[in-house]
Amino acid sequence: MLSRFRTKKEQLEVVKGLLTGDVDLVIGTHRLLSKDVVFKDLGMLIIDEEHRFGVKHKERLRRLRATVDTMSMTATPIPRTLQMSLMGARDMSLINTSPKNRRPIVTEIVDDDDAVIATSILREVDRGGQVFFVHNRVQSIQAMYKRLKKIVPQVEIAIGHGQMHERALEKVMVDFLERKFDVLLCTAIIESGLDISSANTILINRADKFGLAQLYQLRGRVGRSSQQAYAYLITPPMKSLTAEAVKRLRALEAHSNLGSGFALAMRDLEIRGAGTILGPRQSGFMEELGYDLYNKLLEEAVAELKGKPIQKLP
């Protein structure tokens, strides 16, 4: 394993093993993209949570060798990635079957109101569960902590965010896993990789500021057992939000069924556009060409590479 949570000595040992070929399989974070990481013979690249990586990140590893087989995994493909699959430039497989005994997560858009926040937190704590409260601004997270302590003084709350020291953050997460407190007030650092079955309510403050894939991933931190889970998207009054933000929130509220990630990704593609296949943009529209013409040209290029007959535009 290679990440910033390993000591300097442990990291150096792994990097050396990759260079000599003694390490067969390395599991790592963005740390794998560092310049000191050199592979003796890289043959396969698996990218989990692919939506968290930029085009340059993904291509950096692939450039090390021309024949690296690549598999990307995500519940919510980036518009550019989804478009490449739909057009045949990439192969795509879908897993639609949810784990046993899972229930759809009840998703609601709610106003930023103390009574609503207190009710949702206490309902979960009273049934013996834990709560994620996502506040994605480190600068004001202490102010939010004071507000929550005032609203629900009987509840134990801890703070976790990416600017904390590695060991301090690790301790907070382990303590939450061991149920030493009820509410984890955190940034979007919890977006992926957490599987805590006792946490079944999540409140996302200023949900209008998050992307659709990010909201879907955050919502997926709860409901990881047979317990009914709840997700509350806290927003200012809807009339003050942008049209695109309202579309994102409504889409997430509508697609709350199990395995709805692909449907949400398709909606994201409609809202944001497909980006550039040969460039670094992972979303956006083809204003210069027009979307239909762009798709037609892309179909021709893919067919030509596959050796299929091409029907040229008149």
Question: Percentage of the chain surpassing pLDDT 90?
Answer: 46
Tell me which CATH homologous superfamily contains domain 8-86: P-loop containing nucleotide triphosphate hydrolases (3.40.50.300)
Residue 151, amino acid: I
Residues 6+ away with beta carbon under 8 Å from 226: 101, 102, 103
Query: Can 8-86 and 106-258 be said to share one CATH topology?
Result: yes
Rounded-to-integer distance, Cα 238 and Cα 252, Å: 15
- Asked whether the beta carbons of 212 and 76 are under 8 A apart, the reply is yes
- Asked whether the beta carbons of 271 and 248 are under 8 A apart, the reply is yes
Convert the pLDDT of each residue in 62-96 to its tens digit: 676 667 888 888 887 777 777 778 777 788 888 87
| pLDDT bracket for residue 277 (50, 70, 90) | low
Convert the pLDDT of each residue in 93-111 to its tens digit: 888 788 888 899 999 999 9
Which of 26-30, 191-195, 200-204, 255-259 is predicted most confidently?
A: 200-204
Convert the pLDDT of each residue in 148-207 to its tens digit: 999 999 999 999 999 999 889 999 999 999 999 999 999 999 987 788 999 999 999 999
SS3 of residue 173 by DSSP: helix
Query: Angle, to 10 degrees, between the axis of helix 114-126 and the axis of helix 141-151?
Result: 70
Q: What is the mean pLDDT of residues 4-28?
A: 93
Rounded-to-integer distance, Cα 217 and Cα 206, Å: 16
217 versus 51: the higher-pLDDT residue is 217
pLDDT at 124: 97
SS3 of residue 134 by DSSP: strand
- Asked whether the beta carbons of 208 and 253 are under 8 A apart, the reply is no
Average the pLDDT over each of 32-46, 54-68, 106-120 and give the range with the smallest value. Answer: 54-68
Q: Give me the residue spans of the domains in the chain.
A: 8-86, 106-258, 274-305
- Taking the whole predicted model, whether its pTM rises above 0.85 is answered as no
Tell which CATH architecture fits domain 106-258. Answer: 3-Layer(aba) Sandwich (3.40)
| CA torsion, ordered 76, 80, 84, 90, to nearest 10 deg | -60
